Structure 1
Amino acid sequence: MQNLVTLVLVLMPLFIGFVIPSHPYLSKVADKGLTYLVFVILTLIGIELSQVQGLGSQLGEIILYVAVLSVLTIGTGLLALMLFDRLRPWHAKKTAVKGQHHPVSIRGSLIQLSCVIVGFIIGHFLPTAYLPHDSTMTVMLMLLILLVGIGLKGSGITLKEVMLNKRGVEMSVVFTVAVLVGGLMFAMLFTNVSWTKGLALASGFGWYSLSAIVMTDAYGAIWGSVALFNDLIREFFALIFIPLVMRQYPTSAVGLGGATSLDFTLPVIQQSGGLIVVPLAISFGFIINIVSPVLMVVFSALG
């Protein structure tokens, strides 16, 4: 019953965000609010991490988990999409999408990492009575999903447009299956990781703020931090390697960012691949943003 409640808590705000009438001002507020909310969530995760007993002795294990999980999830997804590019070369049609030039840098990722560190420091000096309530993360999760739903609705993208992009749907399936295989491989390497936990950790697909909350709620702050840093590493990796991969493997380059292909890594995708790849990135990113929270909640609920 609790598993069903958790799934509803994730999907209900997303549905509400979709049914709220779209308005440019509301979309702008949701986008701005989402940016600040992510900073708050990462700070809260840092605070929770500071409360873990014997964290120093577990730091080596955390680094090992993050390193192995990152190599497996990023590697399987990239290799599968490169094979897909080879077997099914992409011949994109010209698009009428108007381009917007956005600066591309890792500054945003560094700020997000800083929020975790600041939260960790605050948590060490914060009196127990002032620590966040146990339900705080659940509330933050629901608000995060609500704002994402409003943002997706306000973007003007319809499910019909997304699903009509055959290449976007196909690469979403290939990417999802491949990354989940990486999660299973991770579970096989560590005896204390069940196959459901391996799949849940892999299902973040780069959505670090969401994966950190869900994994913290399901498995504790240690595994929440593993999910967070795993997905942040994907973001760093994508920003650096998308331009290098784009020329020979455009589909693979788009897929490198995972869930962030719809927002954070979209500028570098556009700059390195041109306007022609934007519809593919939007279709892929949209689908992954819908699939990721569902898979994380389902797999973490299974055990």
Structure 2
Amino acid sequence: MTSLLPVLSVSGLLLLGFAVGKILPPSVLRQMLKPLSAVVLLLLFLMGAEFGGIFTDKALGADVVKRALLLSSLIAAFTAALLYRKGGRAAPSGSFWPPFFGCLKAVAAFAAGVAAYRLLPHGTLEGVIGSTQVLYLLIFLVGTDLVHVRLGGLNRRVFLLPLFAAAATAAAGLAFSLLTPYSFGQSLMLSAGFGWFSLSGPMVGELVSAEMGATALMTDFFREMFSIVFLYFFGKTQPAAAIGLSGAAAMDSALPFVKENCEPEYVKYAIVSGFILTLAAPVSISALTALLY
């Protein structure tokens, strides 16, 4: 039941934001949404600060990071290949620099958070504001902006997207098992969080081991970072692949990036796909750990 609380929270905030967006005058709504990009950068900074311990902890081990980076890279590659749209919209002329600088700002914000963790006295940022609060604010703001998005008319492609994303993740797990000492089942378990690192890390760590939990957490974390980069560069031309790579995060932490970098019609793809994969993640991890251990 605990694993469903984030789903209910996100859904409730989106609905609340949508209701507020319906009530507010358009001029007030535009003013409210102006700081959206700045709030996104604040979220990335806080995520960097909260994950600074992982990036600066030698005890975690370079091997864990390397394995997680390999698995997340395979997930990104297989997702891009499986969801590639041959007839995708061509990138407009001169479209490289805006996403490049947008991505650069995102990476810089995250790196600044890691640096803050490293340089500031321990506990300086604790209790001030957390990434969860900022994330929920972002989801509320995205909900208010959904009044401009047509969420009706869900077709088969919307529901096929999470299935293809899950298939790509499984294919990446198979490739990972051929390249490392991990079995296919273990590889599936490590990737079964579908980008939900705050669930996969603690859950796998509790059910299996701390090392496996750290690997699962870092795999999903790197997957989300790759998805943000992918959204900045290919959100306009390959939105399905970008949303598929976002996995479960497509309905929460990656949703502002989908809203910012994809066409409005793809917001509903992100919400539906993220919702389905969010429900699938705890079930998949539980089932795989029960079978393997």
What interval of TM-score do these two structures reach, taking the shorter chain for normalisation? Answer: 0.5 to 0.7
Equivalent position of 1:17 in the other structure? 17
Contact 2:68 2:218 in 1 (8 A): no
How far does the alpha carbon of each residue in 1:106-155 deviate from its partner, in whole angstroms, 9 at most, with x for none? Answer: 111111111121111211233334332499333233222212212222xx
Contact 2:102 2:232 in 1 (8 A): no
- Aligned equivalents of 1:213, 1:39: Cα separation in 2: 19
How far does the alpha carbon of each residue in 1:70-107 deviate from its partner, in whole angstroms, 9 at most, with x for none? Answer: 22x2333333335x86xxxx799xxxxxx9x9763311
- Aligned equivalents of 1:288, 1:122: Cα separation in 2: 32
Q: Pick from 255, 270, 273: which aligns with 2:240?
A: 255
Using the TM superposition, give the Cα deviation of residue 13 of structure 1 relative to its aligned residue in structure 2, in angstroms: 0.8
CA spacing shift, 1:186–1:124, aligned 2, 3 Å: farther
User: Root-mean-square deviation (CA), in Å?
Assistant: 4.2
Aligned residue for 2:51, secondary structure, equals helix
Equivalent position of 2:35 in the other structure? 33
Q: Pick from 288, 291, 294: which aligns with 2:273?
A: 291
Equivalent position of 2:69 in the other structure? 66
User: TM-score w.r.t. structure 1 length?
Assistant: 0.64
Q: Does 1:117 align with 2:111?
A: yes
Using the TM superposition, give the Cα deviation of residue 60 of structure 1 relative to its aligned residue in structure 2, in angstroms: 4.4
Q: Does 1:198 align with 2:191?
A: yes
Using the TM superposition, give the Cα deviation of residue 49 of structure 1 relative to its aligned residue in structure 2, in angstroms: 2.2
CA spacing shift, 1:223–1:46, aligned 2, 3 Å: farther
Q: Does 1:2 align with 2:2?
A: yes
Contact 2:80 2:241 in 1 (8 A): yes
The aligned runs of 1:208-227 (5 Å cut-off) are: 226-227=219-220
Using the TM superposition, give the Cα deviation of residue 282 of structure 1 relative to its aligned residue in structure 2, in angstroms: 3.8
Equivalent position of 1:160 in the other structure? 152
Higher alpha-carbon deviation: 7-16 or 169-178: 169-178
CA spacing shift, 1:18–1:242, aligned 2, 3 Å: closer
User: TM-score w.r.t. structure 2 length?
Assistant: 0.66
Contact 1:184 1:199 in 2 (8 A): no
Q: Pick from 108, 130, 140: which aligns with 1:136?
A: 130
Contact 1:171 1:284 in 2 (8 A): no
- Aligned equivalents of 2:116, 2:189: Cα separation in 1: 33
Contact 1:50 1:123 in 2 (8 A): yes
Amino acid at match of 1:232: M
Runs of at least 5 residues in structure 2 that lack an aligned partner in the other structure? 206-212, 244-249, 287-293
Count of residues in Structure 1 that have an aligned counterpart in Structure 2? 255
The aligned runs of 1:42-61 (5 Å cut-off) are: 42-52=44-54, 55-56=57-58, 58-61=61-64
Using the TM superposition, give the Cα deviation of residue 215 of structure 1 relative to its aligned residue in structure 2, in angstroms: 6.0
Equivalent position of 1:106 in the other structure? 100
Equivalent position of 1:79 in the other structure? 81
Amino acid at match of 2:273: V
